[in-house]
């Protein structure tokens, strides 16, 4: 934490002042923050846009989009530019209709219903270089909960990993118990 934020992170317990080393909110706020930020960044886009957390559907009403083309239409370029202004960068788009594209998702029909999944070509690298630092572990947990299909047990387990590693500095190696826990979690999703 930056020392300039210490005044906002001080708590008094039993007449002693303590400085929190992590922000006082958990992972449960992250989806709302992401949704609010994306909504704000895309407020001036003149195309119909729907989003669910960080998955964005863009409808381009100016004509058909060739699903085979690699070039993004103007609507997608505008969305990418707006998100980049907030340091949010997008995966490749996926055409799901003649005039609709999705960023980072694969939509398909099965039994007359529309289903979604992360695209196969968006490989999630869950490998680590040795030794594992707290910074690498935090990035790994973020990738994990952001890209693995919904698993009710996954977010709490990632939060526990982050908590277990919170005592050291960002560039210090994590303890063996934390690394063993990470490998254990990985065994369920690999």
pLDDT digits (tens, 9 = 90+) for 69-114: 556 778 888 988 998 888 887 777 766 665 555 666 666 677 877 6
Q: Which residues pair with 94 in a beta bridge?
A: 102
DSSP letters for 153-172: THHHHHHHHHHHTTTS-TTS
Alpha carbon distance 92, 160 (integer Å) = 32
Listed residue (23, 24, 56) closest to 37, CA to CA: 56
Query: Is the Cβ–Cβ distance between 77 and 62 less than 8 Å?
Result: no
Q: pTM above the 0.85 mark?
A: no
Average pLDDT for residues 61-73, to the nearest whole number? 59
pLDDT at 46: 86
Cβ of 26: how many Cβ atoms within 10 Å? Answer: 13
Structure tokens at 38: 């994306």
Average pLDDT for residues 139-151, to the nearest whole number? 72
Lowest mean pLDDT among 48-52, 107-111, 157-161: 107-111
Q: Is the pLDDT of residue 172 over 60?
A: yes
């Amino acid at each position: 934490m930056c020392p300039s934020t210490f005044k906002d992170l001080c708590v008094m317990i039993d007449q002693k002042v303590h400085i929190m080393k992590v922000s006082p909110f958990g992972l449960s706020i992250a989806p709302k923050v992401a949704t609010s930020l994306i909504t704000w960044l895309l407020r001036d886009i003149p195309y119909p846009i729907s989003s669910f957390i960080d998955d964005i559907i863009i409808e381009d009403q100016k004509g058909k989009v060739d699903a085979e083309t690699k070039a993004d239409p103007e609507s997608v370029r505008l969305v990418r530019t707006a998100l980049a202004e907030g340091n949010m960068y997008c995966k490749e788009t996926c055409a799901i209709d003649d005039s609709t594209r999705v960023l980072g998702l694969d939509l398909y029909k099965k039994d007359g219903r529309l289903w979604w999944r992360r695209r196969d070509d968006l490989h999630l690298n869950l490998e680590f270089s040795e030794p594992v630092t707290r910074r690498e572990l935090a990035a790994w947990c973020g990738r994990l909960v952001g890209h693995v299909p919904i698993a009710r047990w996954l977010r709490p387990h990632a939060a526990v990993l982050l908590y277990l590693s919170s005592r050291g500095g960002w560039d210090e190696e994590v303890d063996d118990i934390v690394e063993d826990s990470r490998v254990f979690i990985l065994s369920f999703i690999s």
